[in-house]
């Protein structure tokens, strides 16, 4: 499985022969003036052009080149949630005290790449589309009204948007004068994309997509004159291209990253996996044996080896998950309740067995038996081909042997697994949580009653059907709070329940991954300067493109 894009296994194609569209390459003795930048994905061949920003599998979205053409209202740093929001197309952003409305001032002096002036009408139109076409609102913003006065647009929402500020501000603005005549924005292919961004689409082919820098961009003139977006058959082919210098920037998990990529050019090659506020977790069915017992969940949580998962399943390519709150650090540091500060996951089989003993479990010939006298077993399931996840559940199956538990590893096809996951027809699976500028998404995805549906009905999250009115109320209180003290108290309640009741078991971070080289351009985000995720598929990629400078 490839990070953050779980359906990539569905795309099968031959590796592309990329001629005449590479970056500086690995053999250059020094920086190449005016070099193009090649941005790559491991998605297989590019079959059909679609530049629709509302369609997740459009070529523009999958490859990420839409992020050089369209721009967001603001830059929200999801790898450093404590960082100040940077106004972008909105020059001023003013939230109401209860976060049920926001006033956005359209930046002056911005033009679309067809020469038309950008205005507040474009912001208003973009958000009005989410009301008129609810199918476009994949963030479930709950917009109620959009009002324009002069150069200011005021958006009003049904509920407070504190936990969804990033979802609002990272929305990319489309030109009203183009889209207002589109009957169905969900199917429009947008053949000649008009944007405010620093690049325009020059050419499209099944081998590469070419973008050229604008000479009339409202911001600083981009240092990179040409961008090529290309797609390789798989991670192996992409890793080879990165190592050879045929690709310059990519979002992809690289196994054995040190030897496969970093050592190929120690001076210039960079791999940065920056933890945001998302995790990979073992979701367990809390409605059926054996995970309907909190004591058993606690015991399993105590024997999962997160360091082993990071080193073996993820081959050292992601940060280790350490905090017992499940929050990745350092991104989550500011959100960890004081009582859990410095409290990290440790493997403790002795403590796990004591928890089970106290709950009435016994052992017969080293086999764990529950209080009813039944041997404890369960099945772990992930799709075949999701190699890091398959390795992850295999490690967990080995870990629970120390408790006298037999865990069977099952790897069905993806469609079968997906349906079973949604319907609650499983005992344990690995799955990811969403990310955001607060921990709300992580905890809500795992334990929020708002996701609850009966077994057999498709759940969007809380796949384990964890049912805690207290957790649901605390999450709602966190989302709806109008002051920091109330918000902190609600989050503390959520974390106490998360730690004590173990509704799911986070096993690893799910970072924003970026691989790039500094041969021809510097100014990239990094661990030392984490101003944005180094991921070209994110809306904040436009910020990176404007920060790059020619290497000297």
pLDDT above 70 for 6: no
Give the residue-averaged pLDDT of 165-180. 98
pLDDT of residue 476: 97
pLDDT above 80 for 519: yes
pLDDT tens-place string over residues 406-426:
999 999 999 999 999 999 999
What the chain holds in terms of domains, given with CATH numbers, is: 8-69+197-274+513-550 (3.40.190.10), 74-179 (3.90.76.10), 279-509 (3.10.105.10)
- What percent of the chain has pLDDT above 70? 95
Specify the higher pLDDT residue, 235 or 325.
325
pLDDT tens-place string over residues 238-277:
999 999 999 999 998 888 899 999 999 999 999 999 999 9
pLDDT of residue 262: 97
pLDDT of residue 159: 92
CA dist 115 and 45 (Å) reads 33
DSSP lists the bridge partners of residue 397 as none
Do 81 and 512 contact (CB within 8 A), yes or no?
A: no
pLDDT of residue 450: 96
| Cα dihedral value 273, 276, 278, 280, nearest 10 | 20
- Pair of tokens at residue 117: 């002036």
Q: Is 77 left (phi over 0), alpha (psi -120 to 50) or beta?
A: beta
pLDDT of residue 341: 98
Alpha helices in 371-455 (DSSP H): 387-399, 414-423, 440-447
Place of tokens 């070209």: 536
For β-strands 152-157 and 101-106, DSSP reports them as antiparallel
Burial class (CB in 10 A: 0-12, 13-18, 19+), 484: exposed
- CA 234 from chain centre, in angstroms, equals 20
Residue 454 confidence class, pLDDT cut points 50, 70, 90: confident
Give the residue-averaged pLDDT of 299-306. 99
- What percent of the chain has pLDDT above 90? 88
Give the residue-averaged pLDDT of 526-541. 97
- Pair of tokens at residue 539: 């809306």
Neighbours of 342 (CB within 10 A): 9
- Pair of tokens at residue 379: 């099945």
What is each CA distance from 109 to 32, 122, 287, in whole angstroms? 33, 14, 57
Omega within 30 of 0 (cis) for the link into 318: no
Residues with Cβ within 8 Å of 488's Cβ and at least 6 positions away in sequence, in order, are 337
Residue 165 parent element (H or E): helix 165-169
Give the residue-averaged pLDDT of 170-191. 97
Residue 8 confidence class, pLDDT cut points 50, 70, 90: very low
pLDDT above 70 for 236: yes
Give the residue-averaged pLDDT of 465-472. 98
pLDDT of residue 54: 95
pLDDT above 70 for 4: no
pLDDT of residue 319: 95
CA dist 272 and 427 (Å) reads 34
Mean of the per-residue pLDDT values for the chain?
A: 93
pLDDT of residue 57: 87
pLDDT of residue 385: 87
Q: What are the phi and psi torsion angles at 283 (to 5°)?
A: -80, 135
Picking from 17-26, 176-185, 234-243, 520-529, which range would have the lowest pLDDT averaged per residue? 17-26
pLDDT of residue 455: 83
Residue 46 confidence class, pLDDT cut points 50, 70, 90: confident
Residue 152's nearest CA partner among 103, 205, 109, 100 is: 103
Do 214 and 113 contact (CB within 8 A), yes or no?
A: yes
DSSP-derived 3-state class of residue 229:
strand
pLDDT above 50 for 189: yes
CA dist 91 and 109 (Å) reads 11
pLDDT of residue 29: 64
CA dist 320 and 309 (Å) reads 8
Residue 204 parent element (H or E): strand 199-204
Specify the higher pLDDT residue, 27 or 149.
149
Place of tokens 């805690």: 468
CA dist 428 and 464 (Å) reads 8
């Amino acid at each position: 499985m490839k990070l953050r894009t779980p359906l990539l296994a569905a795309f099968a194609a031959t590796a592309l022969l990329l001629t005449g569209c590479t970056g500086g390459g690995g053999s250059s003795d020094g920086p190449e003036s005016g070099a193009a930048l090649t941005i790559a994905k491991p998605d297989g061949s590019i079959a059909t052009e679609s530049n629709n920003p509302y369609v997740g599998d459009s070529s523009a979205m999958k490859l990420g080149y839409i992020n050089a053409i369209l721009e967001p209202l603001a830059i929200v740093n999801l790898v450093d949630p404590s960082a100040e929001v940077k106004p972008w197309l909105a020059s001023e952003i003013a939230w109401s005290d209860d976060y049920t409305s926001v006033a956005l001032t359209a930046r002056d002096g911005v033009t679309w790449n067809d020469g038309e002036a950008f205005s507040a009408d474009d912001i208003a139109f973009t958000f009005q589309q989410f009301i008129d076409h609810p199918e476009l609102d994949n963030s479930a913003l709950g917009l109620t009204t959009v009002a324009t006065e002069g150069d200011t647009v005021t958006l009003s929402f049904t509920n407070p948007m504190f936990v969804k500020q990033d979802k609002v501000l990272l929305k990319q603005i489309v030109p009203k004068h183009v889209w207002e005549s589109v009957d169905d924005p969900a199917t429009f292919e947008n053949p000649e994309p008009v944007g405010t961004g620093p690049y325009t689409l020059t050419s499209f082919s099944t081998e590469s997509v070419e973008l050229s820098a604008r000479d009339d961009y409202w911001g600083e003139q981009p240092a990179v004159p040409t961008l090529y977006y290309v797609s390789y058959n798989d991670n192996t082919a992409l890793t080879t291209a990165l190592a050879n210098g045929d690709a310059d920037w990519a979002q992809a998990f690289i196994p054995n990253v040190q030897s496969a990529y970093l050592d190929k050019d120690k001076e210039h090659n960079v791999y940065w996996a920056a933890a945001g506020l998302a995790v990979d977790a073992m979701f367990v069915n809390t409605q059926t044996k054996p995970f309907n017992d909190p004591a058993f969940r606690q015991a399993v949580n105590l024997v999962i080896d997160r360091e082993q998962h990071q080193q073996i399943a993820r081959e050292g390519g992601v940060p280790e998950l350490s905090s017992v709150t499940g929050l990745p650090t350092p991104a989550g540091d500011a959100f960890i309740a004081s009582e859990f500060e410095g409290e990290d996951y440790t493997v403790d089989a002795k403590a796990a067995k004591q928890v089970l003993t106290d709950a009435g479990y016994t052992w017969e010939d080293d086999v764990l038996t529950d209080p009813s006298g039944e041997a404890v077993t369960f099945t772990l399931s992930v799709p075949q081909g999701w190699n890091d996840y398959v390795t992850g559940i295999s490690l967990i199956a080995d870990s629970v042997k120390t408790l006298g538990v037999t865990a069977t590893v099952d790897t069905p096809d993806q469609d079968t697994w997906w349906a079973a996951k949604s319907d609650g027809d499983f005992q344990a699976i690995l799955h990811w949580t969403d990310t955001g500028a607060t921990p709300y998404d992580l905890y809500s995805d795992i334990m929020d009653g708002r996701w609850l549906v009966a077994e057999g009905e498709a759940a969007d999250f809380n796949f384990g059907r964890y049912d805690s009115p207290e957790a649901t109320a605390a999450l709602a209180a966190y989302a709806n709070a109008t002051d920091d003290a109330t918000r902190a108290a609600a989050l503390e309640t959520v974390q106490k329940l998360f730690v004590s009741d173990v509704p799911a078991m986070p096993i690893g971070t799910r970072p924003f991954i970026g691989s790039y080289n500094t041969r021809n351009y510097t100014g990239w985000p990094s661990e030392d300067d984490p101003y944005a995720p180094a991921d070209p598929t994110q809306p904040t990629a436009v910020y990176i493109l404007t920060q790059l400078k020619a290497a000297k």
